[in-house]
Structure 1
Amino acid sequence: MDRSISPGFLVPSATFQSFINISIVIFIPIYDRLLVPASRSFTQIPSGITMLQRIGTGIFLSIIAMVVAALVETKRLQTAKDDLTIPMSVWWLVPQYVIYGVADVFTMAGLQEFFYDQVPSELRSVGMALNLSIFGAGNFLSSFMISVIDRVTSQPGQTSWFDNNLNKGHLDYFYWLLASLSLIGLAFYLWFTKSYVYNRPNTF
């Protein structure tokens, strides 16, 4: 992809991760000052929407981010296949990072509030530890899934989805897989949340 923003200056690929943090910093005030008061007027809930609704919104937005990532990667692969003179601009990657950052605002805030507020007062430190354990378990599962997919798709006569030459790999398939698994996860999440009863219903 074309990473140049001016003659002789290339944007390092790793810096695009910073768009997630930038999106979080920008969106938190918007969420707190605009979205919460606006939603509060409709729902009559002090926090605008419930903790579980925040988490669900974050999961949904993360699915959208994966779909956008898959579509952009598909276009990139097609551009590389067509061997165009002008490569695809790297700025096409920005929207997926921005959406993922906004999803983090909803999910992280919802999870922290849920694990802090919905456990007994004496166990709140344990609740926060459980919250952090989600991300650790997720990283282990992610690494395991990538290893399995790489092994399965790199059989003789096949090209791994994660081939060192990205133009021969298929990261788009991986993004579609993540979107599909997240959609299934969201369906289960919505099913379980229907029967959840808040310990302190007047708070959120």
Structure 2
Amino acid sequence: MQASVLREDNLSWGLGFGVPCICMILSLLLFLLGIPTYRYKIKRHEKKPFVRIGHAFVAAIRNWCATTPVVAIEEEVSETDCLHSPRCLSLFIADDIEEAKAAVRLIPIWTSSLVFAIAIAQCPTFFTVQGKTMDRTLVPGFKIPAASLQALTSITILVFIPIYDRIFVPIARTFTGEPTGITMLQRIGTGIFLSAICMLVAAVIETERLEIAKINGLVDEPNATVPKSMWWLVPQYMLLGAADVFTRVGLQEFFYDQISNELKSVGVALYLSVFGVGNFLSSILVSIVEKAIEGGSLSDNLNQGHLNYFYCLLVGVVVVGLGPFPIIAKSCFYGSSRNST
């Protein structure tokens, strides 16, 4: 990682991204070579998760169109009768529908969490560009690579997780009565709120950086170093790390908890897709903003790009996304744990 960062700063971004790409390809090949030695079990008579959910929606449509509900069960069926009874099919369809309903109930939380993913997408992009324009001298003759500043987020996560588990949770438990201190949804919402604070702090720091660049006559010099220490970026990196501890961990627990044991992979996929789609939406948002500004780019010349306005826009996006979050949490029923039922 460190070697990749140095190549990005001193040689080219293409080489910097190329080295990790080659490593990932080699890792994938190594993983594939190990397939003959893996232990796995083939369930021949069990439908795949997406097939089961698809059948549930088909059954729901048929049930809506039919005069007699397909999944109506008016009497109990014994296990011996169930194997050969058409009503047994109704039981299986009912189970599939319950699983489909559990997956659908996750969509509002999935959608609301996209604003968090959009916010944290700025860490490896604009945060790094900010750092590249600032004074990164650690000791005379050595500058910290701009991309290495992302380590501050990881360090914050490592430090904050034990604080959260050992200090925050016991204190919160005395007030809420929740075994986990706060619920998973409250944890997710807190992290989204912290991401808004992070963007606000980033906007304030960027405004100060732009003012210093203007005072020193560096507005038209995109490659010049603004005489402002990179350490001013530490608060926004740390806030992003704290937000990660709340929202990223909360989302992973939530999506894994609310899906039945047979569909755990779907829950994990939904969790990961939040950040994939969020990064994609972030790119779209940047493209829209760049087309709307005169310069045509936010990062070609950061001293003219008014990145602080973009951060303020992100604050608004996160706040708008967070607004309906409590309503969604109250209107959709989420059990404490599906595994215990």
Q: Spell out, residue by residue over 1:25-78, the C-alpha distance to the aligned partner (whole angstroms, 9 max, x if none).
A: 110011111111111111111111000000000000000000000000000000
Match of 2:204 among 71, 75, 95: 71
Indicate the residue corresponding to 2:215 in structure 1.
82
Please say if 1:20 is aligned against 2:153.
Answer: yes
Tell me the distance in 1 between the aligned counterparts of 2:325 and 2:238.
24
Give 1 or 2 for the bigger CA radius of gyration: 2
SS at match of 1:105: helix
Secondary structure in 1 aligned to 2:323? helix
Q: What is residue 55 of structure 1 aligned with on the other side?
A: 188
Measured in 2, the distance between the counterparts of 1:132 and 1:148 equals 25
TM-score, normalised to structure 2, is 0.56
For residue 194 of structure 1, give the secondary structure of its aligned residue in structure 2.
helix
Gaps of 5+ in 2: 1-133, 218-225
Give the letter aligned to residue 193 of structure 1: A
Q: Unaligned regions of 5+ residues in structure 1, if any?
A: none
Distance in 2 between residues matched to 1:183 and 1:81, nearest whole Å: 31
For 1:94-147, what per-residue CA distance to the aligned partner results, in whole angstroms no more than 9, with x for missing partners?
Answer: 100000000000001110111011122221221111111111111111111111
Q: How many Å separate the matches in 2 of 1:45 and 1:163?
A: 45
Aligned-partner residue type, residue 91 of structure 1 = W
Deviates more, 1:11-20 or 1:70-79: 11-20
Computed over aligned residues only, the root mean square deviation of the Cα atoms, in angstroms, reads 1.9
On the 8 A contact 1:160/1:170 being kept in 2, the answer is no
For these two proteins, the number of residue pairs brought into alignment is 199
Which amino acid in structure 1 is aligned with residue 262 of structure 2?
A: E
Confirm or deny: 8 A CA contact 2:257 2:337 kept in the other structure.
no
SS at match of 2:324: helix
Indicate if the aligned counterparts of 1:66 and 1:178 stay in contact, CA closer than 8 A: yes
Normalising to structure 1: TM-score of the pair? 0.92
1:9-158 to 2 correspondence within 5 Å?
9-83=142-216, 87-153=227-293, 158=294
Q: Alpha-carbon deviation of 1:161?
A: 5.2
**Aligned with 2:138: secondary structure?**
strand
Amino acid at match of 2:312: W
Q: What SS does the aligned partner of 1:5 have?
A: strand
Q: Identity, % of aligned pairs?
A: 55
Indicate whether 1:172 and 2:305 are aligned.
no
Aligned partner of 2:318: which letter?
S
* Distance in 1 separating the partners of 2:287 and 2:261: 40
List per-residue Cα deviations over 1:160-199 (Å, max 9, x = no partner): 3514121111110110000110000010212211223222
Determine which structure has greater relative contact order: mean sequence separation of CA pairs < 8 Å that are 6+ residues apart, divided by chain length: 1
